[in-house]
Amino acid sequence: MKREILRVGAPSLSRVAEAVGEVDDPAVRRDAADLLEALMAFREAHGFGRAIAAPQIGIDRRMIALAVPGWPDVIVNPEIVWTSAERVTLWDDCMCFPDTMVKVARYASISVRCVDLSGEVHLKAQLPLAEAELLQHEIDHLDGKLSFDRAVGENATVPRSEFEANRAAFARQVDYCPQP
């Protein structure tokens, strides 16, 4: 089943997603397949996108699809179990508003406990910054939060086209800016 990515303003994006009970439930498996399909379609259409949370396509489950080496394709019920003392600022993007960048502050590292679709529990400890910021972003979606809810500083939003045209200048405004 093809599901569209919801845009900012969709009421379901502000709701807290329900925990997944049984990973072998056929409905959970169908939703996981839809989530993976949505991630791959977005990546193909836009050239970016490392992960997508289920609420972004209207699925009310604590589930995230990932295109990140070393991670399962889909994780369920992820929880942050540790945060670093250090925080960093960065420009965040999102599939729900692909033409906008938002300046946010996030923990420099986190540890995440989750379950994969086989039921295996994973603990990903003290994640590197690129993975830490990604997982914080996606878990925010599960908690009904968007990057706009985490915006910091003046001029915290910028059109992606302006950001890309002046990437070096925008990179100087934050602690961390991944390379394209």
pLDDT in tens, 6-17: 999 899 899 999
Average pLDDT of the chain is 94
What digits encode the pLDDT tens for the residues 112-133?
Answer: 999 999 999 999 999 999 999 9
What integer is the mean pLDDT of 55-60? Answer: 96
Q: Quick check: is 4 in a domain?
A: no
> Domain containing 61 — which CATH number?
3.90.45.10
Find the domain containing 81 and state its range: 11-172
Q: Quick check: is 44 in a domain?
A: yes
Confidence of residue 164 (pLDDT cuts 50, 70, 90): very high
What integer is the mean pLDDT of 91-118? Answer: 95
State the total domains in the chain: 1
Residue 160 confidence (pLDDT) above 60? yes
Q: Quick check: is 2 in a domain?
A: no
Catalytic residue, chosen from 37, 44, 86, 138, is 138
Question: Among this protein's residues, is 138 annotated catalytic?
Answer: yes
Q: Which of 63, 70, 83, 84 has its CA nearest to residue 18?
A: 63
Please give the model's pTM, rounded to 2 decimal places.
0.94
> 137 among the known binding-site residues?
yes
CA distances from 61 to 31, 87, 88 (A): 9, 28, 29
Q: Quick check: is 64 in a domain?
A: yes
Dist CA 103 CA 39 (whole Å): 23
What is residue 124's three-state secondary structure?
strand
